[in-house]
Amino acid sequence: MQVSTPEHYFTAEPASSDERRLINARLAGREVQLETAPGIFSPDHVDRGTEVLLRHLPPPADTVLDLGCGWGPLALTGALQRPSARITAVDVNRRALELLRRNAARLGVSETIEVCEPADVEPEREFDAIWSNPPIRIGKKALHDLLATWLPRLSAGGQAHLVVQKNLGADSLMTWIGNQADAQGNPWGTVEKVASSKGFRIITVTNN
Ligand SMILES: C[S@@+](CC[C@H](N)C(=O)[O-])C[C@H]1O[C@@H](n2cnc3c(N)ncnc32)[C@H](O)[C@@H]1O
């Protein structure tokens, strides 16, 4: 019997055929056409959680990290809103990274968005903002490791915005983040639930 393993959107090199297609989406108040493909997260539309997050994001700060960028709805929105910002978009899925590069070129914002694998970001770099619809499905331990890698890189006064589905553990994740501290014993920041909509929570972490 042949057993097939379903492909996860967080696969580095998706095995599904890389059939490109165009979708229409509304980003930063503009109707845009974007390229997507199977094997990545939400290839047919802007995800509902991401939509909720987009409605609650402040204008882009000077430096923004889009953590787990997928085909790029968050990074592209930030770049359209503020071309002078420096937006770093990371993902482990190389197909998603390639699509974001192409989408950034399509929308004329390649100069604003640096698209790369997580390991390519220098460990000492800090960010004024972190935006993420984090990959809950990678499992609790991996998710905690991911957040422990990036949230301590908020600059002084910097703020992260995360969207997490309520029934996928948003509240317990908030409690966990609130209990974390860096190697010097400084808490990662103040954690707040700033909005709840359509089953999603918007969580902020402020490095104050
Ligand atoms: C829920 S999706 C959100 C994608 C995109 N931001 C959006 O809103 O459509 C989470 C993304 O995190 C990526 N991811 C998984 N593990 C990661 C890791 N260790 N580092 C960076 N990104 C990761 C996945 O490949 C996926 O694209």
Chain segment 181-190, per-residue pLDDT in tens = 988 898 999 9
Q: What's the mean per-residue pLDDT of the chain?
A: 94
**For residue 97, how far is its CA from the centre of ligand 1 (angstroms)?**
10
Average pLDDT, integer, range 126-150: 97
Percent of the chain whose pLDDT exceeds 70: 97
Encoded tokens for 49: 């959680």
Is the separation of the CB atoms in 187 and 181 below 8 Å? yes
**For residue 178, how far is its CA from the centre of ligand 1 (angstroms)?**
22
In this structure, the strands spanning 127-132 and 63-67 are parallel
Chain segment 67-91, per-residue pLDDT in tens = 999 999 999 999 999 999 999 999 9
What is the CA angle 120-125-129, rounded to 5?
105
pLDDT above 90 (res 193):
yes
- Residues shown for the chain: 208
pLDDT bin (cut points 50, 70, 90) of residue 165 is: very high
Residue of 41, 74, 136, 151 to test ligand 1 pocket, by largest number of atoms within 8 Å of CB: 41
Chain segment 90-129, per-residue pLDDT in tens = 999 999 999 999 999 999 999 999 999 999 999 999 999 9
Amino acid at site 96: A
Is the separation of the CB atoms in 24 and 106 below 8 Å? no
Q: Would you give the distance in Å from CA 110 to the centre of its chain?
A: 17
Q: How many CB atoms lie within 10 A of CB 36?
A: 25
Domains of the chain by start residue, with CATH: 21-206 (3.40.50.150)
CB-facing half-sphere around the CA of 14: CA atoms within 13 A: 25
Q: How far is Cα 171 from Cα 133, in angstroms, rounded to an integer?
A: 15
Atom 3 (ligand 1) nearest CA:
133
pLDDT above 60 (res 3):
no
Is the separation of the CB atoms in 40 and 99 below 8 Å? yes
Q: What is the pTM of this model?
A: 0.95
